[in-house]
Amino acid sequence: MSDMQDTLLLGSEGIKKTILHGGTGDIPKFITGAKVTFHFRTQLCDDERTVIDDSRVVGTPMEIVIGNMFKLDIWESLLASMRIDEVAEFWCDIIHTGVYPLVSKSMRRISEGKDPVDWHIHTCGMANMFAYHSLGYDDLDELMKEPKPLYFVLELLRVQQPSEYNRESWALSDAERLKAVPVLHGQGNKLYKQGDYQEATQKYKEAIICIKNVQTKEKAWEAPWLKMEKMGNTLTLNYCQCLLRMEEYYEVIEHTSDIINQHPGAVKAFFLRGKAHVEVWNEAEARQDFSRVLDLDPGMKKAVKKELAVLNMRMEEKNQEDRDKYKGMF
């Protein structure tokens, strides 16, 4: 089969395919839900053919599930032209490579053992959509500012039909994702009660990722989106309760502030933020948050009174520490 036919076979503008190593058998069935395992290498179209990513260097092949909204959907089309064990090089024009830096960032974070979602810069809000955020990798920032055509060298290892493998949470459809949320939520609550905060945060996080995945496909501020926003906030606050127990106070302040900025009536967010402020001796901020809690829900009077007692105790301890510290100086 000539390259020309291969190019047509992809039926897309801006793609050229060259087979480097022929595969075996017929082209597999790439149906929705099929799991595709492959190695990939991404290179710039410069003289050095600079390598951006290489799954062989990382040591694990890539897996995607067909029809699962994988952000770089062009890979589905490229793979669908290949046989098992085939190695092919695809030149792809800018129209197909614009999102690559975002996808690459997620893949790199996963291979570094981090969360694919960067929790520290998830400050939402319309303004941030247009603000320029660094992806945390210089080469990807470059590509983001100035998209370029890329070479993808793919090696197809295997294709498993939906019945042949166990589907994991990232391979779920939207309906399944939403079904998984209450289950994960329940598991998180149970672990929290047992005092296993680390494991509980994992369950809450997984549930939040499921919700966010579905929520991004809804129209912002409309009913379904708001319903998911509410579910997401509830889980984020549970997550923050774990963080309080784990003494991650600044992270609590960050997440609760995000919620408060979008939803100024979020009582529990103010309450948890107040508690975190107490622990890091931000006296004025803590008092402000607790008075806001009482404005929003006078029924919280007893709980707030208790927290203010803790605050007074904390401040007393700190003053005593400061006095002892300065005593030695004079």
The rounded distance, in Å, linking the Cα atoms of 38 and 36 is 7
pLDDT digits (tens, 9 = 90+) for 82-135: 999 999 999 999 988 988 988 888 888 777 766 655 544 444 434 444 445 677
Q: What is the pLDDT of residues 39-74, one digit of tens each?
A: 999 999 999 999 999 999 888 888 888 876 566 878
215 Cα distance to chain centroid: 13
pTM of the model: 0.51
Contacts of 162 (CB under 8 A, 6+ apart): 31, 32, 33, 34, 35
Q: Which domains does the chain have, with CATH numbers?
A: 3-164 (3.10.50.40), 172-302 (1.25.40.10)
Contact 249, 280 (CB under 8 A): yes
Alpha helices in 138-248 (DSSP H): 138-145, 174-193, 197-215, 223-245
Q: Are 139 and 22 in contact (CB under 8 A)?
A: no
- Say which DSSP state 298 is in: G
- Phi/psi of residue 316, each to 5°? -60, -45
In single-letter form, the type of residue at position 92 comes to C
Alpha-carbon separation of residue 151 from 21, 90, 101, 148 (angstroms): 16, 6, 14, 10
Determine the 3-state secondary structure of 75 from DSSP.
Answer: helix
CB 119 within 8 A of CB 55: no
Torsion of CA 64, 66, 69, 75, to 10 degrees: 70
Confidence of residue 308 (pLDDT cuts 50, 70, 90): very high
CA angle 61, 67, 72 (to 5 degrees): 55
d(CA 314, CA 316) in angstroms, rounded, equals 5
- For residue 211 the two structure tokens come to 């919700």
- Spell out the SS3 assignment of 13-45: CCEEEEEEECCECCCCCCCCCCEEEEEEEEEEC
Asked if residue 185 has pLDDT above 70, the reply is yes
The rounded distance, in Å, linking the Cα atoms of 241 and 238 is 5
Residue range 322-326: average pLDDT?
Answer: 84
pLDDT in tens, 3-15: 444 544 455 788 9
Q: Which pLDDT score is estimated for 219?
A: 87
Q: How far apart (Å, rounded) are the C-alpha atoms in residues 95 and 74?
A: 10
| Residue-wise pLDDT tens digits, 206-249 | 899 889 888 888 888 888 899 999 999 999 999 999 999 999 99
Percentage of residues in the chain with pLDDT exceeding 70?
86
Pick from 211, 214, 213: nearest CA to 234:
211
Between CA 73 and CA 71 the distance in angstroms is 6
Q: What is the mean pLDDT of the chain?
A: 85
Cα 18 from chain centre: 34
**Host H or E run for residue 88:** strand 87-92
